[in-house]
Amino acid sequence: MDELLRLTQHGLYCPAGDFFVDPSRPVHRAVVSHAHSDHARWGCRRYLAAKPSEQLLRLRMNADATFDFLAYGEKETVGEVKISFHPAGHILGSSQIRIEHRGRVAVVTGDYKLGDDPTCETWEPVDCDLLITESTFGLPIYRWEPNATIFAAINQWWRDSQEAGKCCVIYGYAVGKSQHLLAGLDPSIGPIFTHGAVEKANDAYRRSGVALPKTTHVGSVDGKPNWQGAMVVAVPSAHGTPWMRKFGRVSTAMASGWMAIRGNRRRRSVDRGFVLSDHVDWGSLLKAVELCDPETVWVTHGSAAVVARYLNEQGRDAKVLEGQLRREGDEDESVRGEVDP
């Protein structure tokens, strides 16, 4: 499999195509799974990505970069390999990257989740010989509730806070999580406001044709509105800053897979923690491996050792991607440090 992909200090490299997949440093040619900053590294000369990620990538990448985009399923020959992108269900435009070389197929999942999310295309299994999967939440303790259950709880918290005369502030990462959240909110309860970083990403989603409920950027509001009963969607870093003062009495919440661990809610000092993740949980990770049915699995990120050992016990050839991929400066759940104060 080494001619297909190998791990270098810049990340996964495909020698037969002379490109990097989600490189950790600026390189000449990057094939990018999605627009989160730990995957779409700023400063590369050339990017190849899935078309639905165009608006988000252009929003965030260096202006002098060259972009090429492919529709989902469309194949492009790069060097000696064929590349195509397939929905990963993580955020808008997120892709699994399929690399074919002399009849052998490798698939890099990027970040992914199974199941419905109205803000992006649903993950689909891709047959392969080598699957490189993330395992951010690859432990049996991570089992996500159905979305309907999670959003019913969030909307109930909103109604209860409204009755208590409070403003709700919910924290989610600006790109992806916030829009997933917005799509599940019930706008008949009250007005929805957004932090500037969230609204910028909302614009990119709307330009891409994703329907979101009506939102108003907090910074664009004149005078002194009554915040009681409103919902504010903000980035986690806004918590406890002077920006919050204007809202008066608030009830705060964090939406993240990490909220499955009780101590994390306390550590964030938020009133509520909602376990809403855009990554596979333990069960769906194993299901994905079964459906893609690869001969070999390389596991990276998070609980890679546990997942690789479990797969080995099930008779599959699996290993931890040596050294694991470097991830720094992330803005989504992939980097655990993000939930620490």
Contact positions toward Zn ion, by CB under 5 A?
Answer: 36, 38, 111, 332, 334
Closer to Zn ion at the Cβ: 93 or 190?
93
Closer to Zn ion at the Cβ: 111 or 117?
111
Write out the DSSP string of 82-102.
EEEEEE-SSSTT-EEEEEEET
The three-class DSSP label of residue 69 is strand
Which of 180, 17, 171, 199 has the alpha carbon at shortest distance from 94?
A: 180
Measured from the CB of residue 114, what is the shortest distance to Zn ion in angstroms?
15
Measured from the CB of residue 134, what is the shortest distance to Zn ion in angstroms?
7
Which of 184, 203, 183, 195 has the alpha carbon at shortest distance from 56?
A: 203
Measured from the CB of residue 33, what is the shortest distance to Zn ion in angstroms?
8
Closer to Zn ion at the Cβ: 54 or 332?
332
Closer to Zn ion at the Cβ: 56 or 218?
56
Which of 312, 307, 316, 253 has the alpha carbon at shortest distance from 279?
A: 307
Measured from the CB of residue 12, what is the shortest distance to Zn ion in angstroms?
14
Distance between CA atoms of residues 40 and 11, nearest Å: 12
Residues 6+ apart with CB under 8 A from 218: 193, 194, 195, 196, 232, 243, 246
Yes or no: say if 95 and 50 are a contact pair by the CB < 8 Å rule. yes
Closer to Zn ion at the Cβ: 113 or 265?
113
Find the residue with minimal CB distance to Zn ion: 334
Measured from the CB of residue 118, what is the shortest distance to Zn ion in angstroms?
18
